[in-house]
């Protein structure tokens, strides 16, 4: 089966739909997709021509086709498996593209209602699961306040603590007392 041809047709049909009926993209639930995956083509990641608005179902199918087109690419397998959430442990979840689409639309609606109009300012209007994970925290070293109102992940990346990021998150949740002398408290 020619997966590349099917993938290209899917993307071109979405582009044509968005050009012919731009009002549909406001009514339909759509997600941005990189035609040339940014993990394989980082130079194209921010190019406007490379970003296509796909419905949730089209997005799922696109990632499945990319995985089938590039069977040796670990990144494409990871991207597709991220699209198919599975239960922790032994049992895998089998999901159809229609069910996935429905689940994403419902989750987007819930997140939109939860985060629109609430502070912190950077989360207003954010949609999706990532918005749910971005919590602000104060960072302490011992009893000294080091940073206030920061996202733990961003702070760790900017301060050379990438290896201790998960432990710092655990301090904020109360699971650990400290991570390399630092502790976080959610605002």
Summarize pLDDT for 104-158 with one digit per residue, the tens. 776 677 677 666 554 444 444 444 444 455 678 899 998 899 888 888 888 888 8
pLDDT at 92: 55
Would you say residue 50 has pLDDT above 50?
yes
Its domain, for residue 62, covers 3-83
Segment holding 82, helix H or strand E? helix 74-83
Assess whether 114 and 141 both reside in one domain: no
Give domain status of residue 160, yes or no.
yes
Tokens of 25: 């993209």
In whole angstroms, what separates CA 41 from the centre of its chain? 18
In angstroms, how far is the first alpha carbon of the chain from the final one? 53
The total of structural domains in the chain comes to 3
Of 155, 157, 7, the C-alpha closest to 80 is 7
Assess whether 39 and 73 both reside in one domain: yes
Assess whether 73 and 18 both reside in one domain: yes
Tokens of 44: 């194209």
- Percent composition of the chain: helix, strand, coil (DSSP 3-state, to 5): 50, 15, 30
Give domain status of residue 91, yes or no.
no
Give domain status of residue 177, yes or no.
yes
Would you say residue 80 has pLDDT above 90?
no
Assess whether 51 and 78 both reside in one domain: yes
Q: Name the range with the highest mean pLDDT among 7-16, 21-30, 75-84.
A: 7-16
pLDDT at 153: 85
Assess whether 69 and 112 both reside in one domain: no
> DSSP letters along 169-187, please?
HHHHHTS-S-BTTEEEEE-
Task: Show Cβ contacts of residue 72 under 8 Å, excluding neighbours closer than 6 positions.
Answer: none
Summarize the confidence of residues 58-67 as an average pLDDT: 89
Give domain status of residue 89, yes or no.
no
Residue 111 and residue 88: Cα distance in Å, rounded?
A: 23
Assess whether 122 and 160 both reside in one domain: no
Segment holding 55, helix H or strand E? strand 51-55
Helices 74-83 & 56-69, crossing angle to 10 degrees?
Answer: 150
Assess whether 51 and 67 both reside in one domain: yes
Residue 126 and residue 160: Cα distance in Å, rounded?
A: 27
Query: Can the peptide bond before residue 177 be classed as cis, meaning omega within 30 degrees of 0?
Result: no
């Amino acid at each position: 089966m020619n997966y590349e041809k099917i993938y290209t047709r899917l993307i071109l049909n979405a582009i044509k739909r968005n050009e012919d009926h731009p009002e549909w993209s406001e009514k339909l639930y759509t997600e941005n997709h990189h035609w040339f995956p940014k993990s394989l083509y980082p130079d194209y990641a921010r190019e406007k021509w490379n970003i296509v608005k796909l419905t949730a179902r089209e997005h799922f199918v696109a990632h499945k086709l990319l995985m089938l087109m590039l069977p040796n690419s670990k990144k494409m397998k990871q991207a597709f498996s991220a699209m198919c959430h599975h239960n922790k442990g032994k049992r895998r979840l089998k999901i159809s593209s229609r069910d996935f689409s429905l689940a994403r639309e419902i989750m987007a609606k819930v997140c939109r209602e939860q985060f629109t109009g609430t502070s912190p300012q950077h989360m207003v209007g954010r949609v999706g699961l990532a918005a749910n994970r971005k919590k602000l925290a104060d960072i302490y070293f011992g009893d000294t306040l080091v940073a206030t109102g920061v996202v733990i992940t961003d702070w760790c990346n900017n301060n050379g603590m990438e290896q201790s990021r998960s432990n710092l998150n655990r301090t904020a949740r109360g699971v650990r007392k400290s991570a390399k002398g630092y502790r976080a408290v959610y605002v």
